[in-house]
Chain A
Amino acid sequence: MRKTSILLLSLTFIILCYFTFVSAKKVFRSDWQLSQEINHNVDQHRLVLITQDMETSFWDQVESGARKQALKEGASLEVWGSYGNNQEDFLEKIEIALYSKVDGIIVQGLDNEDFKDLTKIKASFYGIPIITVANDVPMSESFRRTFVGSDQYQAGRMLANELTKEMGTSGTVVLMYDSEHEYYQSQRLSGIQDVLNVYPNIKTVLAQTSETREQVLTTTQDVMNRNPDVDAFIAVNANFSAGMVQEIGKRSQVEPYFIYSFDDGPETLTLLKEEKLDGIVKQSPEMMGEISVQLIMQWLNGETVPLNIDGYFTDIHFLKAVDVQ
C-alpha cells in the first residue's frame, strides 16, 4: 500500500515536471528574433517586368522565363502589371518604376501617347533602359533599347498561309482588329493582308472594334449580318477571340467556319482545346522572358552596347486544334 502510494506520487511528480518543462521550453525557447536583416551592400540590379495582362497563361510563361534568367544572372526581378488590360493602372506602374529608379524595365509595348511620353521623356530623364517585350512600339516613338518577341509580320503571314491551305484560295475572310491601331496589330494585319491579297478570289473584310466584350459581340454580329457568306474569321487581337466565338456560336455551328487567332489572349488556349478555334499562331513567351532579361543585363553590364534596335525575334509556329487533342 505504502509502496503503491509512493510510486503513484513519484509518477505524478514526474508527469507534472515533464509537462512543465515542455511548456517552459516552448515559452522560452521560441524564436525571439523578428527576422534576419541583410546587409545593405547586396547590390543586385533591380529589374521590373510590367505587363497589361497579369496572370494569363501567356504572360505567366514570360514571367517564369524572365525569373529563371534573372536568377541565373543574379538580378532581382519583380513582375508588376495591370489585370485585364487596365491601361491607366499599367501606365501608373511604369511611372512608379521610373520614380523608383529601377535599373531596367521590361515592358509590354503599348502603342499610345501616354506610353510613348513616359518611355521617351521620363525614362530618358532618369536614364532607365526600357526593353519592350511581346508587343513592340517603334524605336523612334518610344526610345526603347530593343524589342524581344515574335516577328508579328511573319506571324501574320504564317497564319494567312495556313488559312489558304485549309480554306483554299477563295472565300470571305473577316479580320477583327483593334481600333487603337497598335503597332504589333498593324504588323500582323499587314502580314495577313500581304498573303491574302495575292489571291483574287479571297475577299477580306476588315472589322474594327474596341476592346470591350459588348463591342466585340456587336461587331461580330454586324459583320456576319453584312457578309452572310463568310468563311473564315481571324482575331488579330487575341483578346477578341472569346467574344467572337461566343457570338458565332449563338448563330450557328462554330465548326464550319475557319477561326484563327494568336496565343496572347487570356482564353485562346482553352478555346483551342475545345476546338472552337481551328488554329493559333504559337509564340515562345518563355523565351521572350529569358532573352529580354539576358539582353537588359548585357546592356547594364556594358557587354552589348548598343542593342539591336530592330529587335530580337523569338520562335513562332502554328498550332492546330487537331494537334492539341
Chain B
Amino acid sequence: MNSIQKKILTLTTVVLVIMSVIWVALTYYNHKTQNQYNEILQRYLSLNEVTSASQQLITDLNNYMLKPTSENLDLLERSKEELIEAKLDVDTLRNPENHFTLSNYISLIDSLQETTDRFLLYYSEKDTEASTKEFTEAMNISNYISEMTLTLLDTELKTHDKFYRSIIERSGEVIKLGMWLLLLITFVLIFITYWFSLGITRPVLKLTQAANELSNGKFDVEIKVETNDEIAFLARTFDRMRNNINNLISEIKNKAQLERELQENKILLQESQFRSLQSQINPHFLFNTLNTLSKKAYLEGSEETSDLLVSVAGLLRYNLKQIDRSVTLYEEVAVLKQYMDIQKARFTERLKLILEVDEDCLFVRIPALTLQPIIENAVIHAIEPREEGGTIWFRVKDGEDMITIEIEDDGKGMDQEKIRQILEENTMETEGHSTGIGFSNVVKRLRLFYGYDQVIDIFSDKGNGTKVALYIRKEGVKKG
C-alpha cells in the first residue's frame, strides 16, 4: 500500500545510480589523465636532472680544485653519485626514437665520470697540467650533456607530438561528452518524471472527475481506477460510497411514490364515501319502509311490485355497505342484475339486456360499485333518450391471461373528446340522474386497485353504440 512512496524511491535511486556512474567514470578518467601527465612530466624532469647533476659535478670539481679539502671531496663524491642515479633514471626512458641518442647520452655521462676520476687521479699525483686538461674536458663534456639534453627533449616532443595532441583533443572531447551526457540525462529524466507523475496524477484526475459527477447528481457512473496504489484504494472506497448513496436514494424515491399513491386512494375513497353518505338519509328507515312496502304489495297481490321493491332494497343495502372494499365479480354481477330489474320495470319493453357471462371467471376480485355506474351510464345514454328503446350487452369472457368484461349498447355513441376525458380521469359534470358515482371515479379506482393503466378501454362511433371493456389480469387478480 506504499506504492507511491516506492515509485518515488525508485526514481531517486535511478537518478542516483546514473549520477554515480558518471562520477565514477569521470574520476577514473581524471585519474588516468593525471597519471599520464605525471609520466610525461617525470620524463622531462629526469632529463633535466642529468643536466643539473652534471653541472653540479663541474661546480664541485672546480671548488675542489681551488680548495682541495676533504669536505669538498665529499661534496664531489655525492654529486657523482647523484649523477649516477640520474643516469639510471634516464636509462628507463628508452624508446625506438631516442634509442641511439640515449645510448650516446649515457655514454657521455660515463665519460664525464671517467674524466672526473682521471682528474682526481692526476690531481692526487700533483700533475697539474694533466688535471687541468681533464677539468677542461669534463667541462666540455658537461656542456655536451646539456646540449644533448636539449636534443633529447626535442626528440621527446617530436616523438610524442601526436600523443600530446591527442591528449588535448581528448580534453576537448570530454567537454563534448559532458554536453551529450547532460542532454541525454535531461531527456531521460524528463521522460521518466513525466511518465511517473502521470502514474500518480491520472488516478487523481479520474477521482476528481468522478467526484464532480457525484456532486452533479449522477450516481450511476462507476468509478474505476486500475492502479495498485493508494489512489486505487481511495477510488474503491469512493465507489462503495456512491453505491450506497444510490441505493438510499432509490429507496426514498420508492417510498415517496407509495405514499403518494396511498394518499390519492384515500382522497378518492373519502369522496365516494361523502357522496354515498349524502344519500344516507336515515337508510335504515328507508330500508325498513321498502321492506314493508314490499310485503304490503305482496299481500295485496301485486307480486311484481313486491319483487321490484326487494331489488331496490338489495341495491340500497349494497350501496350502503362500505365502498372501500373489494368484492368478487359474482357479487358485482348480482347487484348489476338487481339494478337492471329495476330499470326494466321502468323502461319495460324498451330495455333489452343480454347477459353472456362465463361462470368460471366470477371469482375475480373487483372494487365494489364499478360495473353499476358503467351500465347506468349506458342506460342513461342509450335507452332513456330513445323512444324505441335499445339493447345492452353484458359479457364476461375468459382469456389467456386476462378476463375481459364488456358492456355494450347500441345508442348514439360518444364523441372521441369525451372518451379521452374519461380515460384521462377528468371529472365532468354528471348529467341526468345517476346513482351518484361518476364514470371517471370508476376509472380511477380501477387503475389504483389493479396498479396498471390499461384496465379500461372505450370503443365508440357516433350513432353506432358504445362499448366499454375492462381488462383484468389474472395474476393481478390473484394478488388482489
Chain A residues engaging chain B, CB cutoff 8 angstroms = 9, 12-13, 16-17, 19-20, 23-24, 26-28, 30-32, 34-38, 40, 42, 46, 76, 78, 92, 95-97, 99-102
Chain A CB within 8 A of B228 CB: no
Looking at the complex, which one of A9, A30, A34, A100 makes contact with B104 (CB distance below 8 Å)? A100
Chain B residues engaging chain A, CB cutoff 8 angstroms = 25, 29, 32, 36, 39-40, 43, 91-92, 94-97, 99-101, 103-105, 107-108, 110-111, 140-141, 144, 147-148, 159-160, 163, 166, 170, 173-174, 176-177, 180-181, 183-184, 187-188, 191
Looking at the complex, which one of A16, A24, A101 makes contact with B107 (CB distance below 8 Å)? A101
Q: How many angstroms from the CA of A13 to the CA of B183 in the assembled complex?
A: 10
Q: Across the interface, which residues of A come within 8 angstroms of B160, CB to CB?
A: 34-35
Task: Please state if B170 and A27 are interface contacts (CB–CB under 8 Å).
Answer: yes
Nearest CB on A from B103, distance (A)? 6
Task: Please state if A95 and B163 are interface contacts (CB–CB under 8 Å).
Answer: no
Q: How many angstroms from the CA of A42 to the CA of B98 in the assembled complex?
A: 13
Task: Please state if B95 and A35 are interface contacts (CB–CB under 8 Å).
Answer: yes
Nearest CB on B from A289, distance (A)? 17
Q: Offer 23 A-B interface pairs, CB within 8 angstroms, sorted by A.
A: A13-B187, A16-B184, A17-B184, A20-B181, A23-B176, A23-B181, A26-B173, A27-B29, A27-B170, A30-B166, A30-B170, A34-B43, A35-B97, A35-B159, A35-B163, A37-B94, A42-B99, A46-B103, A46-B104, A76-B99, A78-B100, A97-B104, A102-B104
Q: A20-B184, A34-B160, A42-B99 are in contact. Are A28 and B140 (CB under 8 A)?
A: no
Q: Across the interface, which residues of A come within 8 angstroms of B147, CB to CB?
A: 96
**A16, A38, A95, A100 pick with most chain B CB within 10 angstroms:** A100
Task: Please state if B111 and A101 are interface contacts (CB–CB under 8 Å).
Answer: yes
Q: A9-B191, A76-B99, A76-B100 are in contact. Are A24 and B170 (CB under 8 A)?
A: no
Task: Please state if A31 and B163 are interface contacts (CB–CB under 8 Å).
Answer: yes
Task: Please state if A31 and B111 are interface contacts (CB–CB under 8 Å).
Answer: no
Task: Please state if A95 and B144 are interface contacts (CB–CB under 8 Å).
Answer: yes
Q: How many angstroms from the CA of A13 to the CA of B100 in the assembled complex?
A: 54
Q: Which 6 A-B pairs have the closest CB atoms?
A: A100-B104, A101-B107, A23-B177, A20-B180, A16-B184, A99-B111
Q: Across the interface, which residues of B come within 8 angstroms of A17, CB to CB?
A: 184
Q: A13-B191, A40-B94, A100-B107 are in contact. List 13 more A-B contacts (CB 8 A).
A: A16-B184, A23-B173, A23-B177, A23-B180, A24-B177, A26-B170, A34-B39, A34-B43, A34-B163, A35-B163, A37-B92, A38-B94, A96-B104
Q: How many angstroms from the CA of A45 to the CA of B239 in the assembled complex?
A: 98
Looking at the complex, which one of B39, B141, B183 makes contact with A16 (CB distance below 8 Å)? B183
Q: How many angstroms from the CA of A100 to the CA of B144 in the assembled complex?
A: 10
Q: Across the interface, which residues of A come within 8 angstroms of B140, CB to CB?
A: 95, 99
Q: How many angstroms from the CA of A95 to the CA of B181 in the assembled complex?
A: 59
| Overall SS of chain B's interface | helix
Task: Please state if B100 and A46 are interface contacts (CB–CB under 8 Å).
Answer: yes
Task: Please state if B40 and A34 are interface contacts (CB–CB under 8 Å).
Answer: yes
Q: Across the interface, which residues of B come within 8 angstroms of A101, CB to CB?
A: 104, 107, 110-111
Nearest residue, chain A, Cβ from B93 = A37
Q: How many angstroms from the CA of A97 to the CA of B104 in the assembled complex?
A: 8
Task: Please state if A27 and B177 are interface contacts (CB–CB under 8 Å).
Answer: yes
Looking at the complex, which one of A13, A24, A34, A38 makes contact with B99 (CB distance below 8 Å)? A38
Q: How many angstroms from the CA of A26 to the CA of B107 in the assembled complex?
A: 42
Q: How many angstroms from the CA of A20 to the CA of B184 in the assembled complex?
A: 8
Task: Please state if B148 and A96 are interface contacts (CB–CB under 8 Å).
Answer: yes
Q: Across the interface, which residues of A come within 8 angstroms of B99, CB to CB?
A: 38, 42, 76
Nearest residue, chain B, Cβ from A98 = B111
Q: Across the interface, which residues of A come within 8 angstroms of B184, CB to CB?
A: 13, 16-17, 20
Q: A13-B188, A16-B187 are in contact. Are A99 and B170 (CB under 8 A)?
A: no
Nearest residue, chain B, Cβ from A34 = B39
Nearest CB on A from B466, distance (A)? 70
Q: Across the interface, which residues of A come within 8 angstroms of B163, CB to CB?
A: 31, 34-35
Q: How many angstroms from the CA of A19 to the CA of B176 in the assembled complex?
A: 9
Q: How many angstroms from the CA of A31 to the CA of B188 in the assembled complex?
A: 31
Q: Across the interface, which residues of A come within 8 angstroms of B39, CB to CB?
A: 34
Q: How many angstroms from the CA of A276 to the CA of B408 in the assembled complex?
A: 158
Q: How many angstroms from the CA of A96 to the CA of B150 in the assembled complex?
A: 14
Q: Across the interface, which residues of B come within 8 angstroms of A96, CB to CB?
A: 104, 108, 144, 147-148
Nearest CB on A from B250, distance (A)? 41
Q: Across the interface, which residues of A come within 8 angstroms of B29, CB to CB?
A: 27-28
Q: Across the interface, which residues of B come within 8 angstroms of A30, CB to CB?
A: 166, 170
Q: How many angstroms from the CA of A40 to the CA of B92 in the assembled complex?
A: 9
Q: How many angstroms from the CA of A26 to the CA of B175 in the assembled complex?
A: 12
Nearest CB on A from B193, distance (A)? 14
Q: Across the interface, which residues of B come within 8 angstroms of A100, CB to CB?
A: 103-105, 107-108, 111
